[in-house]
Amino acid sequence: MDNGIHYRTCHLCEAMCGVAIEVKDGQIASVKGDADDPFSHGHICPKAVALQDLHNDPDRLTRPLRRTADGWEEMEWDAAFDFVAERLYQIRREYGRNAVGTYQGNPNVHNHGAMIAGLPFLRALGTQNRFSATSNDQLPHMLANLEMFGHQVLFPIPDIDHSELMICIGANPMASNGSLMSVPDFRGRLKALKARGGQLVVIDPRRTETAREADEFHFVRPGSDALLLMGMLHTLFDEDLVNLGAAEHWSRDLDLVRLACLPYAPEAVAGHTGVDPTQIRILARRLATTQRAVLYGRIGTSTQSFGGIATWLIYLLNILTGKLDATGGLMFTQPAVDLVALGALSGQRGHIGRRHSRVKGLPEFGGEYPASAMADEILTPGDGQIRAFVTIAGNPVLSSPNGTRMEQALEQLDFMVSVDYYLNETTRHADIILPPTHALERSHYDLIFNMMAVRNVAKFSEPLFQPSANARHDWQILLELAHRLERLKKGGRLGLRQELGWQAFKRLGPDALLDVALRTGPYGQPVGRLQPLLQPATDLIEAILPQRHPLRHLTRLSPLDRRWQDLPKGLSLAALREQPHGIDLGPLQPSLPDRLHTRDGKVNLAPRRYLDDLPRLYRMLMSSPEGGMQLIGRRHVRSNNSWMHNSQRLVKGKSRCTMMIHPSDADRLGIVDGHEAEVTSVAGSIVIPAEITEDVMPGVVSIPHGWGHGRAGTSQRVANAHAGASINDVIRDDQIDPVSGTSILNGQTVQIRARQSEQDRQRA
């Protein structure tokens, strides 16, 4: 690669920080923040610096590896593609298309090529047994988007740059750098919020890094947020604070909401939540009376037993206080590639419960079954059992509930292929591993996170290093497999037209599609000489076709669409290439009711699905609070899910894989700081050093996820030397949020006991 400084977007988390990477003699000399990036203004976190460790990592795989009786053997790409396509095809033919299962992990959404090429690959497989990280993550938000706004990816995002009050529940952006809120430099933006006279309130079972920056903090019992939020909602009605603002004209069924929250007076929910009823009332009043305010919830309110209801209530509280689509509140982005419009155009607004998983009967969402159903579908014999499995950028052994069972399941497959560049806890079970290029060898555009950014921005990054001739991108791997599968399905040969189509797709790659999407998007380039014709044509279509006619979407695929009239124009791949620091497209703007996709064009405040789950919440209210210790998760700024632990720079220092426990619980259980404790559930048990701290609520223990390395046959040397234990070995996969099918990763009950040291044991 050329010497000098290269600008790009860091792909590691949702924040999309601009990085400036200096290359000298073909090597990375430094990684710094790009001060000229209009979105991140020079901010980065320690993980960005570790991009060079990823690049230089001797443990990162670069050639296909196939398992043989004598261990792993390198393979040529072409032979590897044929081998995988044939095995998958055979299994599909013998046992039916659902006999192949797939799991798409988190890094896919940071990789536009893999996202785009994943579609034809899944289509070629044609399996209903699809899984992804979604059901361990943001599914409740997508469900609320679908049920209330009519489109699963129409995400409302906190307009933090204009807020004067942010109430943050179940999220720790100081560690995570924000989620469903791409917010580079959360600390800096918080400082600005405070400088405007604004305040931050944090509600969490742990006094987090974000709580330390807050003006006010409340402990809440894990899993009880729905009751707390109901208490706030009740207060709005009780104290006559409901004021929808503009939303009054485009929302429906407010009366049902009023009825739904009737039983949940703050005084009634206080016992379960651990939050003082006066405080609950004050929180509701502050949200209602602060003009620019937002209530924001994430992992802690979504991956828990009432994830569906809690997320619905968070949206409702914003709407009923006039904060939806209002400056400083919960707003919608207008990204340059509008996946909401594109989804609607192709009839993909989302769906739930069209079919149910074979063994547990769990609902599909957007064509995927919950991750909690994965092991069962592999382990349970019968028609439709998964016999071959494909993981793409995922490590479900560490990241999905009941990892131990997941490992047993992977062990008994007939065939497994992993598209991944590490030999880790999951891929060690594969028959063949196909390692893609790494991020600095490919171009980058954030299709997903621009949809969730606190400002509208666009940026395209060129590859920093040319991949070797013997390397393949994720998109190339997926397209090759898809192409070969389609050929096999057609008896070995495709028609000329199809064959030419595949060749063109493979030659042009995802960036060509990205260019089309940019040009036809809201900020696109109106088409040269055709331009004078386009506007009248658009107007005509809009005039003659009925409001909901599918063809009307066609007019929405042009930068001239009336809703986009006032936006700046001229975006294309070439235009982005000229601006390596990225382009600012302005602050979030009100856009409702135009962008709603519900049938009646209104926000549905009281979807049946949530109302049907209310008896379960009511039963919780009426029962006495459960005893036992509750297990929750946490993130750290130097870690990234399960796969950045092979960087010495990031893992050095004191082990971060500890069990935080309150001194009162530690005393009672005889647990000593720094000594090992055993955490047990029906799923299994782990041993982990205790960290005694008043930062975690009594009755609660906190353990980060993504650890538990050091297993036989894995080859991440640094990670293995800092193994830790996997929280998901004690998290059960037989407990889910029934409304959404989301895993309960926070708030499950566990048993804790001090582990006897070897000496104690000998003495006994």
Ligand X SMILES: Nc1nc2c(c(=O)[nH]1)N[C@H]1C(S)=C(S)[C@@H](COP(=O)(O)OP(=O)(O)OC[C@H]3O[C@@H](n4cnc5c(=O)[nH]c(N)nc54)[C@H](O)[C@@H]3O)O[C@H]1N2
Which residues contact ligand SF4 by CB under 6 A? 10, 12-13, 15-17, 44-45, 47-48, 177, 184
Binding mask 95-134 for ligand X (x = CB under 6 A): ----------xxx---x---------------------x-
With vertex at residue 697, the alpha carbon angle to CA 696 and CA 702, rounded to the nearest 5 degrees, is 45
Token readout for 176 is 């995570």
Q: Is there a cis peptide before residue 593, judged by omega within 30 degrees of 0?
A: yes
Looking at the Cβ atoms of 133 and 485, the one nearer to ligand X is: 133
Contact call for residues 645 and 719 (beta carbons, < 8 A): yes
Residue whose Cβ sits closest to Mo ion = 137
One residue of 232, 731, 736, 744 binding ligand X per CB under 6 A? 731
Indicate the residue among 137 and 368 with the shorter CB distance to Mo ion.
Answer: 137
Cβ within 8 Å of residue 415, ≥6 positions away: 87, 88, 91, 387, 388, 389, 431
Considering the complex, state which of residue 199 and residue 273 has its C-beta at the smaller distance from ligand X.
Answer: 273
Shortest distance in whole angstroms from residue 133 CB to ligand SF4: 17
Q: Please, which of residues 292-311 interact with ligand X by CB under 6 A?
A: 298-301, 304
User: Does the protein bind ligand X through residue 175 (CB under 6 A)?
Assistant: yes
Choosing from 173, 370, 522, 559, the residue that interacts with ligand X (CB under 6 A) is 173
User: What is the closest distance, in whole angstroms, from the C-beta atom of residue 463 to ligand SF4 in the complex?
Assistant: 17
527 burial class (0-12, 13-18, 19+ CB within 10 angstroms)?
A: middle
Residue 17 interacts, among Mo ion, ligand SF4, ligand X, none and using kind-specific CB cut-offs from 5 to 8 Å, with: ligand SF4
Q: Based on CB atoms, which residue is closest to ligand SF4, 10 or 388? A: 10
* Residues 1-60 close enough to bind ligand X by CB under 6 A: 13-14
CB within 8 A of 684, min separation 6: which ones?
402, 404, 729, 730
**Nearer Cβ to Mo ion (91/745):** 745
CB of 578 to ligand X, least distance (A): 26
Contact residue for ligand X among 98, 333, 642, 658 (CB under 6 A): 642
Q: Looking only at Cα atoms, what is the longest distance across the chain?
A: 91
Q: Which two tokens stand for residue 735?
A: 């407990």
Judged by CB under 5 A, the stretch of 134-142, 309-317, 491-499, 552-560 that binds Mo ion is 134-142
Residue 10 contact among Mo ion, ligand SF4, ligand X, none, beta carbon within 5 to 8 Å by kind: ligand SF4
Which one of Mo ion, ligand SF4, ligand X, none interacts with residue 234, CB within 5 to 8 A by kind?
A: none
Q: Taking CB within 5 to 8 Å according to partner kind, which of ligand SF4, ligand X, Mo ion, none is near residue 184? A: ligand SF4
Which residue number, 48 or 606, has a Cβ lying nearer to ligand X?
A: 48
Question: Quick check: 307 and 225 in contact, CB under 8 A?
Answer: no
* Binders of ligand X in range 688-727 (CB under 6 A): 705-706, 727
Nearer Cβ to Mo ion, position 176 or 630? 176
CB atoms within 10 A of CB 322: 20
Q: Where are the alpha helices (DSSP H) in 623-674?
A: 648-651, 663-669
Judged by DSSP in three states, 308 sits in: helix
Residue 17: CB minimum distance to ligand X, A: 12
Of 47-55, 129-137, 508-516, 657-665, the segment contacting Mo ion by CB under 5 A is 129-137
The nearest distance, CB 18 to ligand SF4, in angstroms, is 9
Alpha helices in 430-530 (DSSP H): 474-489, 496-508, 510-520
Q: Which does 44 bind (CB under 5 to 8 A by kind): ligand SF4, Mo ion, ligand X, none?
A: ligand SF4
Separation between Cα atoms, residue 686 and residue 706, nearest integer Å: 14
Letter string b/e over residues 478-497, b meaning 16 or more CB atoms within 10 A of that residue's CB: bbbbbbbbbbbeeeeebeee
Q: How far is the CB of 452 from ligand SF4 (least distance, A)?
A: 13
Nearest residue (CB) to ligand X, 173 versus 699: 173
Q: Tell whether residue 137 is a contact of Mo ion (CB under 5 A).
A: yes
| Nearest-approach distance from CB 60 to ligand SF4, in angstroms | 18
Would you count residue 80 as binding ligand X (CB under 6 A)?
no
Please, what is the end-to-end C-alpha distance for the chain in angstroms?
A: 64
Query: Which of residues 630 and 640 has its CB atom nearest to ligand SF4 in the complex?
Result: 640
| Residue 156: Cβ within 10 Å count | 29
Residue 635 near ligand X by CB under 6 A: yes
Please, are residues 391 and 432 in contact by the beta-carbon 8 Å criterion?
Answer: no
Please state the three-class secondary structure of 713-725 as a single string. CCCCHHHHHCCCC
Q: What's the closest the beta carbon of residue 273 comes to ligand X, in angstroms?
A: 10
In Å, what is the CA distance from 211 to each residue of 162, 187, 403? 20, 12, 31
Residue number, 137 or 474, with CB nearest to Mo ion? 137
Stretch that binds Mo ion, among 135-143, 436-444, 547-555, 717-725 (CB under 5 A): 135-143
Running DSSP on this structure, what letter comes out for residue 403? H
Q: Toward ligand SF4, which CB reaches closer, 42 or 343? A: 42
Position 377, amino acid: E
> Which of these ranges, 121-129, 342-350, 504-512, 635-643, lies near ligand X under the rule CB under 6 A?
635-643
Per DSSP bridges, beta strands 216-218 and 199-203 are parallel
**Do residues 413 and 386 touch, judged by C-beta distance below 8 A?**
yes
Task: For ligand X, give the closer residue by CB, 511 or 542.
Answer: 511
Count of residues engaged in binding ligand X, rule: CB under 6 A: 66
Partner interacting with residue 198 (select from ligand X, Mo ion, ligand SF4, none; CB below 5-8 Å by kind): none
C-beta closer to ligand SF4: residue 13 or 661 = 13
Site string for Mo ion, 88-127 (x = CB under 5 A): ----------------------------------------
Q: What are the DSSP calls for 539-588, one per residue?
A: HHHHHHS-TT-TTHHHHTTSTT-GGGTTS-----HHHHHT-TT-EEEEE-
In angstroms, give the least distance from the CB of 647 to ligand SF4. Answer: 12
DSSP reduced 3-state for 72: strand
- Residue 406's nearest CA partner among 71, 702, 687, 101 is 101
Ranges of H-type helices in 331-489: 339-345, 374-379, 396-399, 403-411, 474-489
Q: How many CB atoms lie within 10 A of CB 646?
A: 25
Give 39 or 422: the residue with its C-beta nearer to ligand X: 422
Cα three-residue angle 285-290-294, rounded to 5 degrees: 95
Cβ proximity to Mo ion, 182 vs 715, nearer residue: 182
Angle between helices 510-520 and 496-508 (to 10 degrees): 80
Compose the 515-554 pattern: x for residues touching Mo ion by CB under 5 A, - for all others.
Answer: ----------------------------------------
Residue nearest to ligand X (CB): 300
> CA of 502: how far to CAs of 26, 123, 443, 497, 510, in Å?
34, 14, 21, 9, 13
3-state secondary structure of 624: coil
Q: What is the dihedral of CA 379, 107, 60, 715, to 10 degrees?
A: -30
The contact set with ligand X (CB under 6 A) reads 13-14, 105-107, 111, 133, 136-137, 169-173, 175-177, 179, 203-206, 208, 220, 222-223, 225, 298-301, 304, 392-396, 398-399, 419-422, 424, 436, 439, 474, 632-637, 639-643, 705-706, 727-728, 731, 745-747
Query: Which residues are at the interface with Mo ion (CB under 5 A)?
Result: 137
